[in-house]
Structure 1
Amino acid sequence: MRILLTGSSGWLGRFLAPLLWQAGHDPFGLDVAPGRHTHRVGSVTDAALVRRLFAEHRFDGVIHAAALHKPDIARYPRRAFIDVNVTGTLNLLEAAVAHGASRFVLTSTTSLMITQAIRDETAPAAVWLDETSGPLLPRNIYGVTKRGAEELARLFHADHGLPVVVLRTARFFPEDDDTHRALAGENMKANEFLHRRLTVEDCARAHVAAFDRAPALGFGLYIVSAPTPFGRADAAQLKADAPAVIAKYFPDAAALYAARGWTLPARIGRVYDAAAIERDLGFRCRTDFAAVLAALRDGGPLPFAHDPAYTSPNDHFLR
């Protein structure tokens, strides 16, 4: 299938485009920055460009991975988030319907599910988050605009029958956390595989699975994260004494961490549950916390990317 892939020069796009080729598709990359998998440099905010590309290439479907992200809040005004994340999504949805595209996959974020209270960890137990969680009260412009994009996608399915799958992805960025720096980057990423991270490779695989299944689903919205080893019954103890819970599932985790000079989380305040996408799409992330421990145990390379020097192609957006 001929696919319009937005964000093709980004971290996800550079892994997703080759997977689409391997699956027999023909991705056409659109990004604000040049890249190996980008065929046209331009912005989704340019409605005329989007319409022209659809008219020229007759895309069968769209994977919309382009966005301004949370770290961009420090660099761009709120208006830019609305232009890219909301208006850009609207431009793509309108063109997809006008040209009879058969499916649309939207990359969203679990970040929009995190209220200020969840972020501050005011609850007595870890908050268990799945697709039914709410009310949704995004705490910043990034979350607000991604929530708006989700609702536009839902509306276009309801009004026009466009098959849509929304993927709320957990963390998969390679750079250091732009807010929390208490732990070294690799240590923090390893910890997050317990409850709120996946690899970029798994994220790309989830998008291919969503694209293939969209027509059968009609509309679907899913959290995408490495499978957590925990159950809901662990929530209270995770908040009080996370190492004790981790030891129940991984008895040698503390020793493996100590040998590396790492620290296990003292407490865990939220857990993303990715059971629904496994149930409905048969998709499960290949890399989980057990894989991280296996690498530590065997002395092999860590199964996730860490690049403190990574910079987003969004740096090109307002130049």
Structure 2
Amino acid sequence: MRILLTGSSGWLGSALAPRLRGLGHEVIGIDPVPSTETQIVGSIADRELVIRTVRDNRIEAIIHSGALHKPNIENSANSDFVAANVQGTLNLLDAAVAEGVERFVFTSTTSLMISQAIRDGFKGGARKAAWLTEAMSPEPRNIYGVTKLSAEHLCRLYHLQHGLPAVVLRTARFFPEADDMAHAIEQSDANTKANELLFRRLTVEDAAAAHIAALEKTPQLGFDAFIVSAPTPFQPNDCDALIRDAPSVVARYFPDFPELYARKRWTMFSSIDRVYDASRARDRLGFVCRTSFADVLAALRAEEGAA
């Protein structure tokens, strides 16, 4: 297929483009930032550029991973987020319908699922961890979440009105930057990210693989939205204990984790406040992340054996 990949210079785009080409697809990358994966330097907020790009390259599928992200809130106006994340998505959808694009995959975020009320509960000592699924009605707490949810609604609308097959992937954290969680300062970056694989993280390789799975399944699904995160070992009935004593819950599932962590001088979060449930992606999309917390422990065991 001839695929237009937005955000091709970003962390996900740079991982996804080579995999797509390896599968025999022709990839045209578009991004405001030049890179080896970007053939068209420009913004998706430029409507004429988007329409011309889709038409002239005879695009058959669009993977829309380009956006302004949460870290951009500090130095970008709300109008910048609307232009990039909402108007940019609308431009791509209009071009897709006009040119007969067969598949549309949109990269969304689990961040939009955390309302201000949920956030305040985390800060104020919530009584149990939040178990988060696609069934909940999101109430985003910032302009990033608002614009990503608006873009999701546009994807749904264009499926309903025009029959455009579209799949939304609400990805958990996969960025390389250090974590912004308050308790992360107590752990190394590697320790923090290992912990998060239990409930709110995936690797960029798995994020790329999820997009490829969605690309393949989009025509059959029509429209659907999925949380994409490493498979959690937890169950909903763990949520009370996860808030009060997360290490004890983790130890029930992984009895040797305390010893392995002690040898690495790592620590587990004392409290886990949310769990993203990716079982719907497993059941309907047929996708499960390859890397999980169990793989982290396997690597620590291997380190110990080689020492």
Question: What's the counterpart of residue 177 of structure 1?
Answer: 179
- What are the equivalent positions in structure 2 for 1:111-190 lying under 5 Å apart? 111-120=111-120, 121=122, 122-134=125-137, 136-178=138-180, 180=182, 181-182=184-185, 183-190=187-194
SS at match of 1:222: strand
Question: What's the counterpart of residue 205 of structure 1?
Answer: 209
Is the CA contact 1:108–1:150 (under 8 Å) kept in the aligned structure 2? yes
Structure 2's unaligned 5+ residue stretches are: none
| 1:109-159 C-alpha deviation (Å, 9 max, x unpaired) | 00000012322325311110011023x111111001000100011100010
Distance 2:4 2:274 in 1: 34
Report the CA distance between 1:246 and its aligned residue. 0.4
Question: What's the counterpart of residue 223 of structure 2?
Answer: 219
Question: Which shifted more, 233-242 or 178-187?
Answer: 178-187
Question: What's the counterpart of residue 3 of structure 1?
Answer: 3
Distance 1:145 1:218 in 2: 22
Distance 1:248 1:55 in 2: 55
Q: Which one of the candidate residues 265, 271, 275 is aligned to 2:269? A: 265
Distance 1:191 1:256 in 2: 13
Which amino acid in 2 is paired with 1:19? R
- Are 2:95 and 1:95 equivalent residues in the alignment? yes
Is the CA contact 1:118–1:269 (under 8 Å) kept in the aligned structure 2? no
1:184 to 1:119, Cα distance in 2 relative to 1, 3 A: farther
Distance 1:227 1:169 in 2: 13
Report the CA distance between 1:188 and its aligned residue. 1.0
Report the CA distance between 1:25 and its aligned residue. 1.3
Structure 1's unaligned 5+ residue stretches are: 301-319
Is the CA contact 1:223–1:273 (under 8 Å) kept in the aligned structure 2? yes
Question: What's the counterpart of residue 63 of structure 2?
Answer: 63
Is the CA contact 1:8–1:37 (under 8 Å) kept in the aligned structure 2? yes
Distance 2:104 2:231 in 1: 25
| 1:58-113 C-alpha deviation (Å, 9 max, x unpaired) | 10010000001101111111111111000000000000000000010000000000
Q: Which one of the candidate residues 237, 240, 244 is aligned to 1:236? A: 240
Which amino acid in 1 is paired with 2:176? P
Question: Which shifted more, 18-27 or 60-69?
Answer: 18-27
Which amino acid in 2 is paired with 1:27? V
- Are 2:24 and 1:24 equivalent residues in the alignment? yes
Distance 2:188 2:263 in 1: 15
Q: TM-score, normalised by structure 2?
A: 0.95
| 1:229-286 C-alpha deviation (Å, 9 max, x unpaired) | 0111111111111111100011111111121121101111100000001101211000
Distance 1:155 1:71 in 2: 28
- Are 2:249 and 1:245 equivalent residues in the alignment? yes
Is the CA contact 1:118–1:270 (under 8 Å) kept in the aligned structure 2? no
SS at match of 1:239: helix
Report the CA distance between 1:179 and its aligned residue. 5.2
Distance 1:153 1:139 in 2: 21
Report the CA distance between 1:37 and its aligned residue. 1.0
Which amino acid in 2 is paired with 1:207? H
Which amino acid in 2 is paired with 1:231? Q
The total of aligned residue pairs comes to 299
Compute the RMSD of aligned alpha carbons.
1.1
Higher normalized helix content (fraction of residues)? 2
Is the CA contact 1:195–1:271 (under 8 Å) kept in the aligned structure 2? yes
| Fraction of identical pairs, as percent | 58
Which amino acid in 2 is paired with 1:188? T
Distance 2:118 2:292 in 1: 23
Distance 2:269 2:235 in 1: 17
- What are the equivalent positions in structure 2 for 1:189-200 lying under 5 Å apart? 189-200=193-204
Q: TM-score, normalised by structure 1?
A: 0.92
Distance 1:229 1:270 in 2: 13
Is the CA contact 1:71–1:178 (under 8 Å) kept in the aligned structure 2? no
Distance 2:241 2:213 in 1: 35
Distance 2:180 2:67 in 1: 17
- What are the equivalent positions in structure 2 for 1:39-58 lying under 5 Å apart? 39-58=39-58
Distance 2:153 2:279 in 1: 22
The runs of at least 4 aligned residues of structure 1 exceeding 3 Å deviation read 178-181
